[in-house]
Structure 1
Amino acid sequence: MIRAGLSSEGVPPAERFDWWFGLKSASPIATTLRSDFTDDFPVAVDHVDLGAATLTTMSYPSAEVRRTARHIRRGDPGSLQVSLTLQGLSGFEQGGRNVEFGAGNFLFYESSSPFAGWMRRMDESGAPTRSIVATLPMHLLPFPVDRLPDLVSRPLSGQDGFGALLSHFMCQVVGDPGQFGDTAAAADRLTHTLVDLVGHLAAQHLDNDLSLPAESRTRALLLRVQSHVRRHLRDPGLNPDSIAAAHHISTRYLHRLFQEQGLTVSSWIRQLRLERCRRALANPALAAVPVGAIAARWGFTRPAVFTRAFRAAYGLTPSEVRARTLLSDGSALAVNKSAPMVNDVE
């Protein structure tokens, strides 16, 4: 078992991207790299070589990677990669399947077919993207090779079931491989465990998902998406991109799901939020809560935008709806000073 670390710390900031680009271009799975952070591209890598398999943790700014047919012709080790996103948002395309997903998800891809991928920071804080990649030779595949196309570029949860076990195992091995022993026998045991867990994760997915008719999977996905939206209506950051990432699909596919229902994603979210606001404004128990606070609770961060959307939907301003409700309910004319805060009532 061999552990090695690699860092750009000793490389001048302006040369770090070219340094990493050269390493990636010359690696056994050669790729081309692109980034908007070429002026300073800090990289940290921790690599554990188990002999037949490897585990590698990588940390770097937002970047895009591409492996072309030309790269493959120049050299191909014939391997399966199982990547776990630890921090940031990820996207990947291989075998005609284009997906986006967030931290805590696995992705299978293989070196013998072209692919393209990206990782992005979650925000402008400067926190890097982070991932762990397990690399297995094809002869160790723990499932039939003809099922590989069903698995590549299809995110799998690393937060439950066998995904959670595999995630914990990979983090433990990369974090402190010495705890398992520093012998060839220990490396073999770790390789066997890795292969077994990858196989169980693959089998869990193949058994539970691909046995369903495509129409049923689409309908179930739409229901999950709608449930997710209702649970996160209060989040101002709820948008098509975040919804798609949470469900491991591309934003384009998400829009297509809603178009088939005669809806758009953004208009449906706005409709739900406006209805929640209308209910709150018509609730005498919330008469003391400012209109702006109610709007903010349901994800409207700009009062003017909220007022215009509300009036377009209901023909009245939010204040007018509230006033009409209070006038129609004599008991509400005297505002209850002990009325609950806006977060206390749905």
Structure 2
Amino acid sequence: MPGVEVSVITMHGGGAWETFVNTHFYNLEVTSAAREFAVCARFATLTQGVRFSEVRSSAWAFESTAHQISNAPDDGLMLILQLAGEARLRGGDTYVDLRPGHAVFCDPLTPHAGHSHGPQHQIVAMVPREALTSYGDDASFVWQPVGMDSMAMRVLCTMITDVLRSGPVAAAPGDGAGLAGATVELMRSVAMNAVLGRGSVCQAARAVARRDVENYVLSRLGDPALTPARIASHTGASRRHLANLFQHDAGLAAFMRAERLRRARADLENPDLAALSTAAIAAKWGFTRPSTFSRAFRQQYGLSPRQVRRAG
């Protein structure tokens, strides 16, 4: 499959398994393993730094220390889905018990350890860290148990197992990138559900959609041609959908205006920009008419731009 490399491996002994994990995921040390330790794993590497695996193994224990992390830091976040067997993980000072139907996000940059209580069947997926934290620096979902009953989690689990078990198939160009993108978006939804403490995939999807629109808008606030219609055209969303995403801000246009005014006020209060005229600052943030800027500024803050500049 273009962009997808699937490998099936069977190995015996904790040393061989340690080498495999260190090569394809991150550095750890197998501290103990069943006398006749065996593992069968299906492993796929996609584009965009996405990889996942389905693992069936005997009981084993591992540890990833600060020294190992510093020698080979990994920029990914990992999701473990427990399909069978029981295990206990420790991330920092947090302990998580994994049973069938449970999952957990793990941070390989945190010293951690774990052990299983018998044969295991897990799905492990890893994506770049920024893919799951780009809606903010909030990674509070890490080392917290996550249920596997949400639609996003079920679709993710089904997609991964289908890819790993499909064998050689004809695929269109770009399938690898498409699967990688789908994996990232599904894991975003699962992470967002954990952050929000809600089970609604719809709410998580709305938050992700709003974040994407915000990123687009905030990077173009200085463009006076930036309008809700143009944003709708770029994102492929209807103007009604955009209005719903920003309903708590009185709509997308109101959100844009408030963000432009906030940045303009910061410039007016900045003594390093004292030589820059009020009209120039207004134009910098997308206001083509100084009178429109002054009127909107006074309406927002109850002061004129000149009063704010004098006070600064």
Calculate the TM-score normalised by the size of structure 1.
Answer: 0.52
Match of residue 196 from structure 1: 185
Question: TM-score w.r.t. structure 2 length?
Answer: 0.57
1:111, distance to aligned residue in structure 2 (A): 1.7
Do structure 1's residue 2 and structure 2's residue 8 form an aligned pair? no
Check 1:183–1:65 CA distance in 2 against 1; reply closer, same or farther (3 A cut). Answer: farther
Q: Is the 8 A contact 2:107 2:143 kept in 1?
A: no
- What secondary structure does 1:147 align onto? coil
Q: Which runs of structure 2 are paired with 1:174-189 in the superposition (5 Å)?
A: 174-176=164-166, 181-182=170-171, 185-189=174-178
In structure 2, runs of 5+ residues without a counterpart are: 200-312
What does residue 79 of structure 2 align with?
Answer: 82
Which segment is superposed worse, 136-145 or 69-78? 136-145
Q: 2:152 aligns to what? A: 162
| Deviations 1:76-125 (CA, angstroms, capped at 9, x unpaired) | 1211111111110121121421111201222101221211122222xxxx
Report the number of matched residues.
195
Mark the CA change 1:25 to 1:168 in structure 2 (over 3 Å): closer, same or farther: closer
CA distance in 2, matches of 1:19, 1:82: 22
The residue type equivalent to 2:60 in the other structure is: A
SS of the aligned residue for 1:30 comes to coil
For the residues of structure 2 that align with 1:145 and 1:31, how far apart are their CA atoms? 28
**Could you tell me whether the CA contact under 8 Å between 2:66 and 2:110 is conserved in 1?**
yes
Cα separation, partners in 2 of 1:194 and 1:28, compared to 1, 3 Å: closer
2:244 alignment partner in structure 1 = none
Q: Quote how far apart the aligned CAs of 1:209 are.
A: 5.6
Contact 1:91 1:100 survives alignment (8 Å): yes
Secondary structure, aligned partner of 2:138: helix
Structure-1 separation of matches of 2:133 and 2:23: 28
Which runs of at least 4 in structure 1 moved beyond 3 Å after TM superposition? 21-28, 142-145, 181-184
> Which residue is equivalent to 1:33?
30
Residue type of the alignment partner of 1:202: A
**Structure 1: runs of 5 or more not aligned:** 122-127, 211-346
CA–CA distance in structure 1, aligned partners of residues 195 and 179 of structure 2 = 24
How far apart are 1:182 and its partner, in Å?
3.6
* Letter paired with 2:88: G
Question: How many Å apart are 1:28 and its aligned residue?
Answer: 5.0
- Partners of 2:132 and 2:191 within 8 A in 1: no
Does the Cα contact within 8 Å between 1:142 and 1:198 map onto a contact in 2? Answer: no
Given the alignment, which residue of 52, 56, 63 partners 2:53? Answer: 56
